[in-house]
Structure 1
Amino acid sequence: MNQDLFPEIRKTIIEFEEVEINEKRKVELAPLINYLREKLIHKEPLILNFIGVNNSHRSIIAQIWAETLGHYFNIDVRSFSGGFDSVSLSGKAIEGLRAEGFELIKRREKEIYFVLYSDEADPIAVFAKKVDDPINPPAGYIAISINPEVKKDELSDSETFFDFYPDYTVEQLKELANKVSEDLYYIFKSLGSAH
């Protein structure tokens, strides 16, 4: 495990270790974990694209945590995010990321943030964008929906599609920003033994 993360982020990750993922959730996450594990076993790249409706909050948080946890567990992952509308990045997402220890540097002329989780890793560029934005992979990615309103048939260029929260309503998802990072911790910890 990489220990070069900023102290507050390391502290948050240690807290994730204490979070108990219930059996129902483990069953829901198992197909995604198994799929990612197979890719690692076959030395295939993990290219994840977290899809939301507006790409302003949870999908960006998922993108950042996936990259951070990949670094922490020494798993080579490239993560992206997108939506079907492009609004501005949520102020609550920015506040939450800063509270967890991420450093965010805003590019002045645009609403683009460079997110740092370690002095040893490249920053992650994040901004609210559509799925088909040129910064995202055009095809071959693993689409992970974090909103029940996103449907597989809307993502024809994805390699495969996983519904991260299949039984949640939109109202319940509003309360799930922390759950995203906890679930990703469980996924990456499970993958850590696969490579």
Structure 2
Amino acid sequence: MYPKLLETIELLKKQEINKDRKVILAPLIDFIQKKFDNNKKIDINFICTHNSRRSHLSQIWAQVASTYFEIPNVTCYSGGTEETAMFPMVVETLMRQGVFIMKISDTGNPVYAVKYHEDLHPVIGFSKKYDHMFNPKHDFVAVMTCSQADGGCPFIPGADKRIPITFEDPKLSDGTPEQEKVYHERSLQIGAEIFYVFSQIKK
């Protein structure tokens, strides 16, 4: 992995996860552990309303964490209840935290290649509905990263399990002097919790 990213990972590992959040994260740990124990593929689809902020941060940190902790057969996806675009501040935040991101399609809904390791295929990031053909159709866990998507999608077709792990929306800071700081902190929070999840997988 890239040096700056490894520095950020050290920050993630030092963040304290409180007891209430550990309870919320436990079902995802259990899902991954069972798949791992049975040598099954582990597909995780992170879902938020617009697939623009929290779901992308979750997807990317989960793919990084699975590689860091050497948990095989993990593929992470993201989707929304509607399609918009990955918000530019998400791209900027992740790049500051050590990920390389290249825009490979410049449209109203750009497509990005998100590179976190020199020798591994990048994550392909763009906004899409959760049931888009790019995402898995069967045998995956749906992780609901915002309360609106959690309340609005009581059933996700094809999912083995549906788990709400919601985060506060950094969008609240858009257009304010606090925006960069809020996105940085939200990314670290999401990353820390995702890293905690993968650190709990027993090999």
Match of 1:71 in 2: 67
Structure 1's 169 and 122: CA in aligned 2 closer, same or farther, altered over 3 A? closer
Does the alignment pair 1:189 with 2:196? Answer: no
User: What does 1:12-51 correspond to in 2, within 5 Å?
Assistant: 12-51=8-47
Q: Which runs of 5+ in 1 are unaligned?
A: none
Match of 2:81 in 1: 84
1:139 deviates by: 2.1
In the alignment, is the contact (CA less than 8 A) between 1:147 and 1:173 conserved in 2? Answer: no
User: What does 1:1-195 correspond to in 2, within 5 Å?
Assistant: 5-76=1-72, 77-110=74-107, 111-151=110-150, 152-165=153-166, 176-191=186-201, 194-195=202-203
* 1:121-146: CA deviation from partner (whole Å, max 9, x where unpaired): 11111101111211111222100000
Moved over 4 A (4+): 168-175
In the alignment, is the contact (CA less than 8 A) between 2:141 and 2:159 conserved in 1? Answer: yes
Structure 1's 29 and 172: CA in aligned 2 closer, same or farther, altered over 3 A? farther
Structure 1's 98 and 172: CA in aligned 2 closer, same or farther, altered over 3 A? closer
Structure 1's 71 and 122: CA in aligned 2 closer, same or farther, altered over 3 A? same
Moved more, 17-26 or 173-182: 173-182
Matched position secondary structure for 1:180:
helix
Cα RMSD after superposing both structures: 1.9
1:81 deviates by: 0.3
Matched position secondary structure for 1:30:
helix
Matched position secondary structure for 2:143:
strand
In 2, the alpha carbon distance for the partners of 1:67 and 1:82 equals 15
Q: TM-score, normalised by structure 2?
A: 0.85
Q: TM-score, normalised by structure 1?
A: 0.89
In the alignment, is the contact (CA less than 8 A) between 1:148 and 1:170 conserved in 2? Answer: no
In 2, the alpha carbon distance for the partners of 1:49 and 1:169 equals 19
The alignment-based identity, stated in percent, is 27
State the number of aligned residues. Answer: 187
Moved more, 74-83 or 38-47: 38-47
In the alignment, is the contact (CA less than 8 A) between 1:50 and 1:144 conserved in 2? Answer: yes
* 1:92-145: CA deviation from partner (whole Å, max 9, x where unpaired): 101111111111111144410001011111111110111121111122210000
In 2, the alpha carbon distance for the partners of 1:85 and 1:112 equals 16
In 1, the alpha carbon distance for the partners of 2:61 and 2:2 equals 13
